[in-house]
Chain A
């Protein structure tokens, strides 16, 4: 028997009926034999191992490469829900892009007193090298991942904006491949939007951002830190799917004012570099001098208009959790409209009144590090022990500006497949957004991350979370 423990379950309405988005799926599911499903469940894992769809975990000798648990029950979104999300995401992403441009130019939003100047001053992602420079096509965030959570039929919230180098898109694609291989009949019965052309769209979107001097078809390359990086599979996968070269820093050098890659025929220029290394490692001459992951001198070429770097260096100023709390103001400031997708209420601990509230209500809140990611360094109040609460209380008092706090949302649940049938688990959703001078594109789908443990709110793969296929239904 399937019983949801959250306020809102994606499959089951409050009155116990199956929600419309899931009706066709549920009818199919009820006709399946459990031993057949069990076998498919095991087959899926074997298939992921064989094709090497793994992620690397640093510092774990035993399991250098781990599988992200894959759950075979899809997360389903109706066409009208998706349309609403799409509009909200487009609005938010264009605001983010305008915001970054403004921050590196006139800083109107600071002058207008809509965000405090210290947010920039204290922002470690701020890059002085970007001041006064406009990247090719005016695009800063070429690829964005917007993390969404849901608490009710019409209540979607943005939990986080990933404007630097969001990962997970290869899982979106591979999860669909796996589902289509395992349950082809489902796709003939239920009209699901395709996601498979994401790599083609990405290639097109990146090429459209090529620098002005590009002649002929732009050469696109994916820059990876190498095979030991946790997301290497994704880097190789995207390069492969786009027909682009997968390069490491040691393959590149600056020559004649261009960034060029060492090929078997000599050095050949690169027009667009989809980099999956952080700003700090991009150019040892400008940033971290010890880094061997980047390319000495690439920032000079970039500023002279010789290459496009995606996402633009310094883009991270926009996805800091302290900035996040200002996103409603930011959206309004640049679009002149009310945000279509709300933020989660956020207390900025830098503000004394907020800090006092947070300290008084710690056991009910989620506290996050402003610059943290991947579910590290956070406190989930309701799940924390007395000792953990006390430890966080100290951290908050010592460095309040380092933290934000949010209410513990009752995230929606979605069924996963378990030995004893369907069981509800908390989920979030990361759609992937492409930005070019030609416009904003969102592939109908995304990565649904799911907590594999009962009651857990942590869905990050580095914390044992799994993924599932995300279906956007056609009308």
Chain B
């Protein structure tokens, strides 16, 4: 397979995953803001924007944080290079470039999602359409993954695409978690209050983890247990542990196909060992924010390693 094609498949899935996660994060922010008064709602929107590292870009454009500005910035603003609209467009451009490496079904799933979402986001969204937009964007992710798993040959292209998905998902989930822990609470004295538990509930919902969490924990809402669930529980498909287990499998499959291991496999092993040695107590002792920052860095290093090992660019 061409290095450029591998690169295209990897980024096709990263962009899709980024679009989906932006929508998920936005949904969490939207629900939190709905239940707050105007002053705190502003804080929450600031946190949402900051979680995706878009504060500078946003503040270049807007002096205040309002919901209308924030969701339109995240979803469709032409000045935001990582808006949902831009990411779906980039995913589709990548898919076009690698069309002969993906199944017709997958191409059509991506192309149709792009057609629907670009129609949906052609104009600024009013409050009462945000919920529907988020649902459609999330569903696009589900349809694409379904098409992939149901129609794609399990060749190296499939593994590059999946590696892109899990690299990006791990990054996004870490950002969502970081937003909650680091940014949302007015002060530490709010830990354990209804504001706190309400926010955790939204974080769970944003990763579709609320129901799974309730099954496992019978109604408890507690920061430690939730963090343990989202970081260490490798049964849940949006936990960091799950993403890195899956990523490690994809990279191992690639190494087997190529008959050699590269830098990315070594980095992956280190990261996996670090995660499996961790306990929830260890994470809190170290500080969640610090842990997440290091996790994100290691995750990025793996992505860079993949690009080098498989000659993504000349």
Contacts and interface: CB of A to CB of B under 8 A. Distances in A.
Contact of B4 (A236, A240, A250, A265): A250
A236 B1 contact: no
Nearest to B92: A52
Contacts of B1: 263-264
Contacts of A237: 99-100
The majority secondary structure among interface residues of chain B is: helix
A262 B3 contact: yes
Interface in B236-284: 258
Contacts of B310: 264
Interface stretch (B105-113, B168-176, B184-192, B290-298): B105-113
Interface in B111-152: 111-112, 115
Contacts of A265: 258
B314 interface: yes
A266 B96 CA distance: 24
Of the listed residues A240, A245, A253, A265, the one surrounded by the most CB atoms of chain B closer than 10 A to its CB is: A265
A222 B22 CA distance: 37
Interface residues of A, number: 24
B104 interface: yes
A51 B111 contact: yes
B156 A264 contact: yes
Contact of B311 (A236, A240, A262): A262
A327 interface: no
A474 interface: no
Contacts of A240: 99-100
Contacts of A236: 96, 99-100
B96 A264 contact: no
A240 B5 CA distance: 13
B177 to A, nearest CB: 33
B93 A227 contact: yes
B38 interface: no
A105 B313 CA distance: 41
A251 B97 CA distance: 13
Given A227-B93, A261-B2, A51 B99 contact: no
Contact of B111 (A50, A239, A251): A50
A52 B3 contact: no
A379 interface: no
A265 B156 CA distance: 11
Contacts of B6: 264
Nearest to B100: A240
Contact of A52 (B4, B100, B107, B314): B107
B311 A52 contact: no
Contacts of A52: 96, 99, 107-108, 111
A236 B2 CA distance: 14
A172 interface: no
7 contacts: A51-B108, A52-B108, A246-B99, A248-B4, A251-B3, A262-B2, A263-B1
Interface of B: 1-6, 93, 96-97, 99-100, 104, 107-108, 111-112, 115, 156, 258, 310-311, 314
